Amino acid sequence: MSKYLRPDDLRRLARYDIAAQLVVEGYLSGHRRSRQRGSSIEFHDYRAYSPGDDPALVDWRLFARTDRPYLRTFELETTLECHVLVDSSASMGFGGGGQETKLEYASFFAACLAWLVVRDHDRVSMHLFDEKIRRHFAPGSTRQHLHELTSALEANAPGKPTNLPEALRRVHPMLTRRGALVVLSDFYAPAEQVFAALNPFLHRGFRIHLFHVLSPDELELPDAGLVRFEDMEDASRVTVHTAALRDDYRESMRQHVQSYRRLAASRRVDYALARTDGSFFTLFDRLSA
Amino acid sequence: MNLVLGSPQLLAGLALVAGPVLVHLLARARPAVRAYPSLQLIRQVMRRTLRVRRPHDWLLLAVRTLAIAALAAAFIRPVYFGATPLAAAGEKKTVVLVIDRSASMAATEGAQSRFGTAAARAIQLLESSGGSTAANVVWIDAQPAGIFAEPGPNRAYLVDVLNRAAAVPQPGAAESALRLAFEQLRTAEGAKEVFVLSDFQATAWKNVPLTPPPGVRLVPMPVGASDLPNMALTDFRAQPAAPVTGQPMQLLCRVRNFSPEPRRAVVFFEAGEARQQRAVDVPAWSDAEAAVSLPAGAPGDLPLRASLADDAFPGDDAAHSLAHVRESVRLAVAGASTSPSIEPLTALGGAIPWLSARRIEPADALTAAADILFVSDWDGQNAPAFRDLAAKGTAVILAPKNGTPAVALADALGVPATPAAPALTAEAAPAKPWKVALASESHPTVALFRTGEFGNPFAGTFRQRLRFSAPPAPATVLAGFPDGVPGLVAGPRLADAKNAAPLFVWNLPLAADASTWTQEPVFVAFFGELCRTSLPAAAGVPGETLPGTPLRFVPGPQVDPHDLRLLAADGSAVEITPPSLPGGPFLSPPAVPGSWRWMARDTVVQHAWCNFPDGESDLRRLDPGTLTGATAESVASRAAMAAERDGWPLWPWLALAGAVLLWTESGLAAFGKKSPVPTAPAVS
């Protein structure tokens, strides 16, 4: 059993059905039958080619005859594809106050989410990133695939500095099918840059869920007197008297979170603040709502 | 600005001012290091809030820097000399110390007198003046003089004189002393400085300019910290100054209160062996008169003394005078032996014990030794001479005769004459004799008879008289005939002559066939009263000497100069200087308040006394702010004087400033910590 798949957690997870939140209209694949056109063994019809369509589906014989590209559509079995991006940068290694680190928190959630998806015979992919994609797992639905994912999570450690927009840009071409995109990060990048990087996904019809993982200490800036803080990503230091900054810091953090929330609301992106001092099951509550 | 650094080698210490800057910058060094996911937001907040807090930090930095700068500057001991400093100790200079040793400088404040304080300060000035200094001391007293004729290098001798000197009970001629000091600097070399050490008594200094000539630096140095309260005795006298033995004599003196509160004083009077005391209440800054009545004792000079209980300034708490007690009043009746006035008047000498009466020739009237001169059958000659005789203390009674010009009468009385007034004319009573009545009740001569208790002083009848009109005021008709003809006229007493005696015009015939007055008992009483009240009231006894001037005595032919001695009141002998020329006076040292006796063997040939100078009793000083000149400084402040010559040491002030700034810094730092931080809502 994986570190991140605890029996108690799995028993609790059994009650959750998150498919409704993760199902994406358009390219649906999986055991949910759908009349939506897609690729399968049963030919359904031809349709005109649109930019972004898979060129492999182009009927070249018809193209030779008509000199126009057309796709063969098939009646597909709907299969959920869930793509999980886990921020594994240095900042995710922060725990604060002896609590589990943000990466552990995210890993627990990612593992359980993967288990749920595989349980329903849907496909899940996982991408571990910092300033670039460190590890990439193509979508799969087998237990072996789940094991590989959880093993990768267990072996994962906070790495280099974050570059979430860049990681999203690199992940985008890897995701051949649209589905649900779940991003687990501390989102220290400016919200505008991140959402600019998410635009291609939105354009392709991904259903995006952003989970902003932060520790209570990051949110509140505990009163520790005169402290020299060292940035976990670039090792820079700054000396502050926390009491003098605390209230202003909290306000700045609130505004930072609000900026993500505002942009998410405007783009129909699901956004939630995930405090590491709380249970990750609240996120599943949100997904199954 | 003249600034000298006492320890310039420590100037590098000013680099310590960099200390607070470094401390300030490193104030947050080595705190605990904590990992944090991202400092992005923290830096944002710091950039925004430090702009707000920076003013407080800058103020703290400034206070710390100034504190260190002040403390570092204190170590280099800067000294400030002012715009025009005095010549330094090593500079060539000529210094004259004008020191007030007048009577007021004997006033005691604290442990020593004002003069003692001034002398100590003068010694300090001399000892710190440096080897290139020529110095002298000029005394402010009644006769200002310098110890040397001109400034010289022998400062040790000046110090020795100052150590032995004391204030003298004399007034101070301040302006003369300053002139002398400036004169001594006229040809001096180097810097020229005059220091005036005085209490700057208001009564002595208020009109004295303190403007030195060009090139001379004048430094007034007030001595004494306060206006001392004082009580003094002045104007001590006997009335009458020359009483007759047994005659009541009144001793009077004025008690002056130089203090802001009313005070009660007890004055002790001594007249020979007799003693009395009198308490008197004196209002603030005012005076009151104390008086006692004592009988005049045996004939001769009677030394008198009045005293107060000692106060802080005892020099003026005693006064001296002298009364000359006469054996009798001398009545000289000038007239021919056949004059009918002679016998009744000379008979008075037998009726009045203290009166001796004798006849003198009319030609001797102006030269006779007499207390009262009666000129019978006066023809009007020498009227001004008789008036002058009265002004000098001999009472004159002029009994004119028939044909005496009325102008002469007016001249003798000192009143305006009526040009056309006829001469005095003798007349007899027509049928009934005249009666003469009292015409004035206020004149001292007849005041005793005012109430009528002793009857009419002019009882009896008069068959003869001289007719003339009553003289105008200020002459006073004391007795008059029923028809207005004056019987006895008193001339005005000279107000400005303390020793003046009255002059009368007598129109009351004394011959037995002319009146019955001399047969009346009241005649003796009236004439006795006339003689008593005609004696001079004020002291006219010679012998008083001004303080600061020597006592003088010129021995007469009956005194052997070799036997002459001068004794003080306690019997001690005083050194006297024989005359430099034959017939000149023997001199004593300058007199101080007290009494003395010139003795020829065992006989007192002359009394002498000296009283405290009046103007020296008011110990109030001029407001130092009104003193003109370079700098008005208290002698008590040695630092102030040292600053003029040696500069003001600034290190105590710098150290104090540094301490204050450090205290301020701690307060600011604490304030910065306690500043309330605005709260912000929690993030959810």
For residue B657, the model assigns a pLDDT of: 93
Q: What is the mean pLDDT of residues B646-662?
A: 84
For residue B672, the model assigns a pLDDT of: 59
**How many Å lie between the alpha carbon of B675 and the closest alpha carbon of chain A?**
9
| Residue B33 at interface with chain A, using a CB cutoff of 8 Å | yes
Judging contacts by C-beta atoms under 8 Å, the chain B residues touching residue A220 are: 682-683
**How many Å lie between the alpha carbon of B44 and the closest alpha carbon of chain A?**
8
Among A92-101, A245-254, B295-304, B541-550, top mean pLDDT goes to A245-254
| Residue A224 at interface with chain B, using a CB cutoff of 8 Å | yes
Least confident of A206-220, B506-520, B656-670: B656-670
What share of chain B in percent tops pLDDT 90?
Answer: 36
Q: What is the mean pLDDT of residues B524-542?
A: 76
Judging contacts by C-beta atoms under 8 Å, the chain A residues touching residue B43 are: 238
Judging contacts by C-beta atoms under 8 Å, the chain A residues touching residue B679 are: 247
For residue B24, the model assigns a pLDDT of: 63
Q: What are phi and psi of B559, to 5 degrees?
A: -110, 125
For residue A38, the model assigns a pLDDT of: 46
For residue B651, the model assigns a pLDDT of: 84
Judging contacts by C-beta atoms under 8 Å, the chain A residues touching residue B50 are: none
**How many Å lie between the alpha carbon of A148 and the closest alpha carbon of chain B?**
28
For residue B77, the model assigns a pLDDT of: 76
Beta carbons of B31 and A228 less than 8 Å apart:
yes
Handedness of CA B38, B44, B46, B49 (dihedral sign): negative
For residue B222, the model assigns a pLDDT of: 86
B3 pLDDT band (50/70/90 cuts)? low
Q: What is the mean pLDDT of residues B596-609?
A: 88
B542 pLDDT band (50/70/90 cuts)? low
A265 pLDDT band (50/70/90 cuts)? very high
User: How many residues can be counted in chain B?
Assistant: 684
| Residue A232 at interface with chain B, using a CB cutoff of 8 Å | yes
**Residue B27 CB partners (closer than 8 Å, separation 6+):** none
Mean pLDDT for chain B overall: 84
Per the listing, tokens 């442990």 go with: B111
For residue B679, the model assigns a pLDDT of: 42
Angle at B184 between CA B183 and CA B189, to 5 degrees: 115
Sheet holding A32-38, edge to edge: A32-38, A70-78, A42-48
3-state DSSP of B258-284: ECCCCEEEEEEEEECCEEEEEEEEECC
Chain B residue at shortest CA distance from A212? B684
What share of chain A in percent tops pLDDT 70?
Answer: 86
Chain B residue at shortest CA distance from A261? B684
Give dist(CA A84, CA B151) in Å, integer. Answer: 111
Instruction: Say yes or no to pLDDT of A53 above 90.
Output: no
Instruction: Report helix, strand or coil for B113.
Output: strand
Instruction: Say yes or no to pLDDT of B40 above 70.
Output: yes
Q: What is the mean pLDDT of residues B29-35?
A: 78
The structure tokens listed for B73 are 């500057």
Radius of gyration of chain A (CA): 21
For residue B443, the model assigns a pLDDT of: 87
**CA B10 to mean position of chain CA atoms:** 58
**How many Å lie between the alpha carbon of B57 and the closest alpha carbon of chain A?**
13
pLDDT, tens only, B235-258: 998 887 778 887 788 999 999 999
Instruction: Say whether pTM exceeds 0.90.
Output: no
Which of A238, A244, A248 has its CB closest to that of B680? A248
Which of A220, A245, A247 has its CB closest to that of B46? A245
Contact A234, A206 (CB under 8 A): no
Contact A9, A107 (CB under 8 A): no
| Residue A245 at interface with chain B, using a CB cutoff of 8 Å | yes
| Residue A272 at interface with chain B, using a CB cutoff of 8 Å | no
Beta carbons of B39 and A226 less than 8 Å apart:
no
Least confident of A13-22, A89-98, B196-205, B389-398: A13-22
B129 pLDDT band (50/70/90 cuts)? confident
pLDDT, tens only, B380-395: 999 999 999 998 888 9
For residue B537, the model assigns a pLDDT of: 60
| Residue A230 at interface with chain B, using a CB cutoff of 8 Å | yes
In this prediction, the answer to ipTM > 0.90 reads no
Instruction: Say yes or no to pLDDT of B307 above 90.
Output: yes
| Residue A281 at interface with chain B, using a CB cutoff of 8 Å | no
Give dist(CA B595, CA B566) in Å, integer. Answer: 10
Residue window 50-109, chain B: list those with CB within 8 Å of chain A.
53
- Alpha-carbon distances, residue B4 vs B84, B428, B647, B650, B652 (angstroms): 14, 107, 9, 10, 15
DSSP for B86-111, please give it.
PPPTTS-EEEEEEEE-SGGGG-EETT
Beta carbons of A238 and B43 less than 8 Å apart:
yes
Contact B402, B373 (CB under 8 A): no
Beta carbons of A220 and B43 less than 8 Å apart:
no
Amino acid (one-letter) located at B64: R
Judging contacts by C-beta atoms under 8 Å, the chain A residues touching residue B684 are: 273
Angle between helices A164-171 and A191-204 (to 10 degrees): 10
Instruction: Say yes or no to pLDDT of A75 above 50.
Output: no
Which of A219, A231, A246 has its CB closest to that of B38? A231
Contact A201, A262 (CB under 8 A): no
Beta carbons of A244 and B679 less than 8 Å apart:
no
Give dist(CA B228, CA B107) in Å, integer. Answer: 8
**How many Å lie between the alpha carbon of A226 and the closest alpha carbon of chain B?**
6
| Residue A249 at interface with chain B, using a CB cutoff of 8 Å | yes
| Residue B683 at interface with chain A, using a CB cutoff of 8 Å | yes
pLDDT, tens only, A9-40: 888 888 777 665 555 443 334 444 444 444 44
Instruction: Say yes or no to pLDDT of A225 above 90.
Output: no
Strand partners, B133: B93
Strand partners, B97: B137, B195
> For chains A and B, what is the number of CB pairs under 8 angstroms?
107
| Residue B674 at interface with chain A, using a CB cutoff of 8 Å | no
Q: How far apart are the first and last CA of chain A?
A: 28
For residue B332, the model assigns a pLDDT of: 93
For residue A73, the model assigns a pLDDT of: 67
Instruction: Say yes or no to pLDDT of A51 above 90.
Output: no
Judging contacts by C-beta atoms under 8 Å, the chain B residues touching residue A252 are: 41, 44-45
What share of chain B in percent tops pLDDT 70?
Answer: 86
Instruction: Say yes or no to pLDDT of B170 above 80.
Output: yes
| Residue B684 at interface with chain A, using a CB cutoff of 8 Å | yes
